[in-house]
Each structure stands twice: as structure tokens, then as C-alpha cells.
Chain A
Amino acid sequence: MTRIFITAIILLASFSVLAIDTGEAFDDPELQARYEKIIEEVRCLKCQNQTIKDSSAFLADDLRREIRRLLSEGKTDAEVYDFLVERYGDFALYRPRMSGITLLLWIAPGAFLLVGGFIVVRVLRKRMAMPIDIDDDSEPGQVTS
């Protein structure tokens, strides 16, 4: 019984490894590695939270085919990314380039951290400079030092 159960679970789980990419692999392993890295970096525009590696939408299929074609023509990775950005904009890449409007995306987290840190430091400094009030309205039992 247990054996049947385990077999069933293994079989069910194995559906997730069904191949999405049905394209022919490159003979050159180096080229294949570059190809696999690129398709992990490209957004499937039709299904916007998936990479084209994970998506079986036909647009993803078309894009994979184009990337394979470009690579086999000897294009560099940068040229492949240029090809995509030219047609679909910066949004096509999961890691948008640092230029123009996308600079904001890259800088914003750091800027928020700096501003927040600055405010915290200011407030703490101010509080530390305050005199300690013994007769405050602290909860009974709370230690006031």
C-alpha cells in the first residue's frame, strides 16, 4: 500500500519537470549555457510574471526561437538584449539596464534607506537630549530609570 502511495506521489510530482522548451539544443555546450542564461533574464510579455524559460505561451516560444537564431548567428549577449529592448522596451528584461528612467528604479531603494535612516537618527538624537521625566505617565510597574 505504502509503495503504491509513494509511486503515485512521485508520478504526480514529476509533472512539474515536463519540458517547456521544445526547441533544439545547441551542439556547443557553451552556446547552450549562454542561451539558458538569457532566457532566464527575459520576461514573457504575455504572462508578465514569468520568464520566457518558464512560459509555454507561444510568444515565449517565438522569443526563444529568435534568441536561438541570434545566438547561432554569432550575436553577443548584449546584442540579443538590445534586440529585445528595441522591440519591447526595458520591461522585457528582468534586470533593466541602468539608464534613463530605469535609473530611478535602481536608486530608489538606497535613497529611501538613506532618508529613513536620517529621520531615525534625528528623532533618536532629539529624544536622547530630552530630560528624563520621573513623573511621567508610564504604566504602573514599568521601570523608569
Chain B
Amino acid sequence: MIRFAIPLVVLALMILVFIKGLDPERDLNALPSPFLGKPAPQFELPKLKNPDETVSNEHYEGELAVVNVWATWCVGCRQEHGFLTELAAENLVPIYGINWRDRRDEALNWLVQLGDPYVASGYDEDGRVGIDWGVYGAPETFLISKDGRVLHKHLGPLSRYSWEKDFAPLIAAETGATQ
């Protein structure tokens, strides 16, 4: 009996490993954020459009928010920008931007040309805030809960598909639970 049981168990384990490993939606370079479920990092940055003012966590305290890390040198950011403007027009959740390691004039120009989906963008010139948020490649998008925790982190360009799949259920759960 045990002669057959051991190979079967090994086979079952290998099938599990392969199913997980060969999942076409698995991104090998994606790292889970250590902030998931934990309070989002604090930040305070000068606003991109108005350097005299700052944008910080306090701006979205008590409400759901999306924090999007972007830059003009980032191809994926250009790719997702259309969806972000659509999302902003739906008025579901405010989108805050962190303009990461960019040139201010180019970033401002980008918002004029492609539209500005952000309530406000902070200007992270030297990447300090990016490091605090564990950013390693733009675009990255965080979903922040009403009590300031990171609910989800999306790597790479955001699309309607990943929004509906990953963000929408979390938002529904969050608004349902706290109403």
C-alpha cells in the first residue's frame, strides 16, 4: 500500500507546485509589499503644481484613496494614464500621485497634454518617499483603506481588468463594512 501512496503524494505535491508556478498571471518579478494590511508609510511632499503647498497622508485621512507612483520617463505610466483619467472621471475614489524621480517641467507638461487624474501629486525629486513606500519600479498603485492601511499594491500599468479584479472587490468590502 505504502509503495503506491508515497509516489502518489509526491506526484500530487508536484502538480500543486506546477499549477502555482505555471500560472500565466504570475509575475515573476512582482514582490509582495511588506506593507499589506499595515499602515501606509507617512509622507509629505511639495505639490507638483504648487511647490509652496504640500500633500501628505492627512489629505485622505478617513477616506479610501488610491496612491499612484508615476513618472514621465516611465512607459507603463503612459500606458495606464488613459485608464486613470477614466477612473478619476467616475469619482469613485480620489487618486493621489507621487511623481517619482522626475523633472518638474516635464511632469507638468505631461499633465497638460494627457490630462490630470490626480487630486494632487507630490513631487518626490530624490526618491526618498519612493523608498519609504518600497517603490522599485513605476508605475505602482496602492489602495489605502479609510483607516490608512495598505489594502493592495498593484505593480505595472493599471488597467480596467486589474481594477475590476483586484481593487473593486476590496473597495466594495471596505465601503460595505464601514457603512
Chain A contacts to B: CB under 8 angstroms: 45-46, 48, 58-59, 62-63, 65-66, 85-89, 91
Contacts and interface: CB of A to CB of B under 8 A. Distances in A.
Contacts of A87: 34, 41, 131-134
Contact of A58 (B41, B127, B132): B127
Contacts of B82: none
Interface in B95-149: 101, 126-128, 130-134, 136-137
Interface in B1-48: 29, 31-34, 41
Chain A interface SS verdict (over half): helix
A91 B133 CA distance: 15
Chain B interface SS verdict (over half): loop
Interface residues of B, number: 17
Contacts of B137: 45-46, 59
Given A48-B29, A88-B31, A62 B133 contact: no
A62 B131 contact: yes
Given A62-B126, A91-B31, A45 B131 contact: no
18 contacts: A45-B136, A45-B137, A46-B136, A46-B137, A58-B127, A59-B127, A59-B137, A62-B126, A62-B128, A62-B131, A66-B131, A87-B34, A87-B41, A87-B132, A87-B134, A89-B31, A89-B32, A89-B134
A58 B101 contact: yes
A122 to B, nearest CB: 12
Nearest to A66: B131
A90 to B, nearest CB: 8
Nearest to A119: B6
Interface of B: 29, 31-34, 41, 101, 126-128, 130-134, 136-137
A89 B101 CA distance: 22
A89 B38 CA distance: 13
A86 B133 CA distance: 10
A91 B33 CA distance: 11
A18 B33 CA distance: 34
B101 to A, nearest CB: 6
A65 B32 CA distance: 24
A62 B127 contact: yes
A87 B128 CA distance: 12
Nearest to B73: A58
